[in-house]
Structure 1
């Protein structure tokens, strides 16, 4: 059965997932009504219709005429954390009691690749539609999480990074997204740059000291003796990790690079298994998994890491104030997780 790739089908998909996510967040945050929303930030990388998604939301929920709107497109799977950064900037200069609605989604109907090139077929296999919504406020009343440091880095100045995830037409004129074979290498470079900027703000003094000592030893050795730099233990700064579920290899590489355990990346693996790569909203599914398992406690710290086209790597730190009581999108299946994932066969 051929996929529906029309504009009408894409709009229907958008309304289905976006309105469902917003209805859910208003249902859980009963003290905030649509008329209390002061700004809307929406991100969707591939599908950017006119009028924009923010206008669609204003129309559906009859928001105030003075509501401020921001619509982000083309920023890939990291755009959800970009939206958080935009909302934070708005709230820092807004009067107390301001509310910002954030919606992260990816709409795939109109972008299904029908060609034959392998590098452009892969997105068809791993990407799935999805959406998540949250309300941020500069008033602590009724808040469930406290937003901490937001760090964004980009490597787009390098040509290889810029073209690593690239929307284009193939030789036969079929539109799709090409994933470069150098994706993991590029992601690793972006992660290193991001960690260098993020770690100084979140690591405890003991870990910073160990890093400084290893750097000093290397400097004193002057290349005569190989000195391995100390890899900081981020588990001293965070209890939970939400790594973008971009693919099994991506999660594996981040796990090895940060020295995390299988339990630390369980939420990412299970989200990829159950929902696929839902792009910018995947970390909200992962956060919901941790809460559905009853593992989130007051005072726990969460590190969200996202990668996106460009190539970008973004990090956001959260602190839990009040854990959720429901299972969210995992309500019908959380009892089956975690599941054992099969080993990936490798060509000899």
Structure 2
């Protein structure tokens, strides 16, 4: 990396500027939305869904808290009647504009950087790619320069934000003394799945609205303003494997409803991609003494097993990532993802707390999720100068993209967590989804007869 490209970093004045401050217009609270959940059950019944218990299980295991952050088109018209014909283009634009422009307004205001100073603009939204592009909307809104380099990333899922950061890192090698802005968000409501497949309904329960805008630069004169410095970035793509490619994919079901299919191969693909990524990243971040210890112990156990195979018991030899990393920023993609990564890395409850709390409070906000986890660490005043942060992201493709950041100054500013941080962390019992208890009536056997009654009374006999 060129000397002038060393200081790729966020130079914003505080995480308020890149963590979306949700407002009441975007939120639905469980207690206020009880009628909404009842309507969901009614839609399932009228649509002819027989396995109501499966749907309730999907909702209850999502591990989201009592606050929903969704746009205004949560229930598309005619969703239960037929495959939607309306693209809900206006809903997409409205949802995206609110997130992009609100976070960018705060970013430019707090940092004092003018939109005309931006040299590189990267926007990552996986499921919505209009023409003109979203980057063009931003350029038009803020009247940016005509020689700005813009990039619109789509289809890269939850790991898109780290892809964008890596792209900026590579561009900084060619563009010196430059400013770059990365905008990460997702359109959720227009892609609400209206069908009956359990494997495609999980996305309805996991994903929520959210996003962030991040300012980076390689100007060495701004080192004193930096919050973090990007030390390493490693990307792994195992899309050549058919199972990995299809484990997380947008498809149509048999009734013609669009949705996001999550298969059982997802965990296998994630483990493979993550392992391959660590093989490249670990030698760059761990001290020599830890690498030597791992090599010696592995060699000793291998020889011992070869000499006495009948008496040797299987034992794992793992690297201690904490010798080179202070904080672990795990993508809050779901309870299974967080728990699986935490177990494989040997992390403690303290290490996994930020990801679990971000999932509980904000849900899976796709590409913006990692920044909510980082915001939790900052709100809890965990991030001190010199600390190393490992950001772990997984996304469709299948990809694993990890970054290592170094904290340049103590980060204790207020952010998107400031209105609720005193209530966290919550206990494991309180983290259980409230629907499991409040709406257990959905599993009542009598609902099967209700469904039959609906079919009998509402559907005329055309014979």
TM-score (norm: length of structure 2): 0.72
- Return the alpha-carbon distance in structure 2 between the equivalents of residues 313 and 291 of structure 1: 24
Q: Please say if residues 243 and 283 of structure 1, whose CA atoms lie closer than 8 Å, have aligned partners that are also in contact.
A: yes
- Return the alpha-carbon distance in structure 2 between the equivalents of residues 323 and 84 of structure 1: 22
Shift of 1:220: 3.1
Shift of 1:196: 1.1
The one of 385, 394, 398 equivalent to 1:307 is 394
Larger RCO: 1 or 2 (CA < 8 Å, sep 6+): 2
Q: Please say if residues 332 and 355 of structure 2, whose CA atoms lie closer than 8 Å, have aligned partners that are also in contact.
A: yes
Q: Counterpart in 2 of 1:43?
A: 124
Shift of 1:323: 3.4
Q: Counterpart in 1 of 2:273?
A: 190
Q: Counterpart in 2 of 1:241?
A: 328
- Return the alpha-carbon distance in structure 2 between the equivalents of residues 273 and 61 of structure 1: 34
Listed one character per residue, the Cα deviations across residues 132-182 of structure 1 (whole Å, up to 9, x for unaligned) are 111111114121111011001111111110000010100000001000122
Task: Indicate whether 1:120 and 2:200 are aligned.
Answer: yes
Q: Counterpart in 1 of 2:110?
A: 28
Q: Counterpart in 1 of 2:135?
A: 54
Q: Please say if residues 210 and 230 of structure 1, whose CA atoms lie closer than 8 Å, have aligned partners that are also in contact.
A: no
The one of 328, 337, 342 equivalent to 1:255 is 342
Q: Counterpart in 1 of 2:291?
A: 208
Shift of 1:59: 0.9
Gaps of 5+ in 1: none
Shift of 1:50: 1.3
Task: Indicate whether 1:160 and 2:243 are aligned.
Answer: yes
Listed one character per residue, the Cα deviations across residues 69-97 of structure 1 (whole Å, up to 9, x for unaligned) are 011000110111000000001112112x2
Q: Please say if residues 95 and 187 of structure 2, whose CA atoms lie closer than 8 Å, have aligned partners that are also in contact.
A: yes
Gaps of 5+ in 2: 1-35, 37-74, 78-86, 434-463
Aligned residue-pair number: 344
- Return the alpha-carbon distance in structure 2 between the equivalents of residues 303 and 114 of structure 1: 37
- Return the alpha-carbon distance in structure 2 between the equivalents of residues 113 and 76 of structure 1: 17
Structure with the greater alpha carbon radius of gyration: 2
What's the Cα RMSD here? 1.8
* DSSP-derived class of the 1:27 partner: helix
- Return the alpha-carbon distance in structure 1 between the equivalents of residues 411 and 210 of structure 2: 20
The one of 156, 169, 193 equivalent to 1:75 is 156
- Return the alpha-carbon distance in structure 1 between the equivalents of residues 199 and 264 of structure 2: 8
Q: Counterpart in 1 of 2:261?
A: 178
* DSSP-derived class of the 1:328 partner: coil
Shift of 1:211: 1.7
- Return the alpha-carbon distance in structure 2 between the equivalents of residues 63 and 156 of structure 1: 36
* DSSP-derived class of the 1:149 partner: strand
Q: Counterpart in 2 of 1:320?
A: 407
Task: Indicate whether 1:100 and 2:180 are aligned.
Answer: yes
* DSSP-derived class of the 1:70 partner: strand
Q: Please say if residues 267 and 290 of structure 1, whose CA atoms lie closer than 8 Å, have aligned partners that are also in contact.
A: yes
